Amino acid sequence: MPKREPYRSWFYRYFWAFILLAFIFVIYRVLNSPLPIPEDASRERDRTSSNYLEAVVLKVIDGDTLLVLVNGRKERVRLIGIDTPESSFNRKARRDVQRFKVAPEDMIEAGRRAKEFVKTLLKPGTKVKLELDVQVRDKYGRLLAYVYLPDGRMLNLLLVERGLARVYTFPPNVKYTEKFLQAQEKARERGIGFWGEIFK
C-alpha cells in the first residue's frame, strides 16, 4: 500500500485548522459588532422605535457639531434644528456675512463664543445621550441628533436660549421646532447673546 506524502498530510491539517479559525473569528465579530447606524441620509426612522443612542464626546468641532464615540465608532454629530455662526472664516461664514450684513470679525467672534460655551459643557470623555429624529444623516454623512447633557438638558435648546444659535429647521426633522422658535423669540426680545450684539 503506497504511503501518503508527508507534505500533503501537513497541508490538509493546516488548511482545516485555518478554516476553523476563520469560522470562529467571523462568529466572534458578528456577535461582538456594534449595532449599525443607517448610512443613507434619506433613510427614515419610525418614531415608535428606539431613537436614543449613548455616546462619549471626543471633541467639540464647532458650536453645532461634535465628534463622539458611538458603539465604538467615531461619528460627527450635527445638532438638529439649530445653527451657530462659524468659528473660523470659511465659505459658509462668507455666505452668512453677506446674508445677515454683519462684519466678518463679529460673525466669527460669535461662532467662537458658541464653541467655547459648548466646550465648557462637554469636556472630552463626557457621556451624552443622542436623540435621533426621522432623518438619521445629512448629505455629508453626519449623524443628526438632539444632544442631551448629563444633567438632562438638551444642548440644542440651550444654545438657542442663550442666544448662541438660530433656529435652522430642515424637514422631516421638526420634532422640537416649536419649542426652538419660542426660545429664539424670547432670546431676541431680551437681546440675549448675539441678538443684542450682531443680530439686532
Q: Are 60 and 115 in contact (CB under 8 A)?
A: yes
Nearest to 193 by CA among 116, 126, 93: 116
* Catalytic residue list: 78, 86, 142
β-bridge mates for residue 130, sequence order: 53, 147
The residues, any chain, with a CB within 8 Å of residue 161's CB and separated by 6 or more, are: 183, 186, 187, 192
CA distance 200 to 160: 16
Cell numbers linked to 154 = 438638551
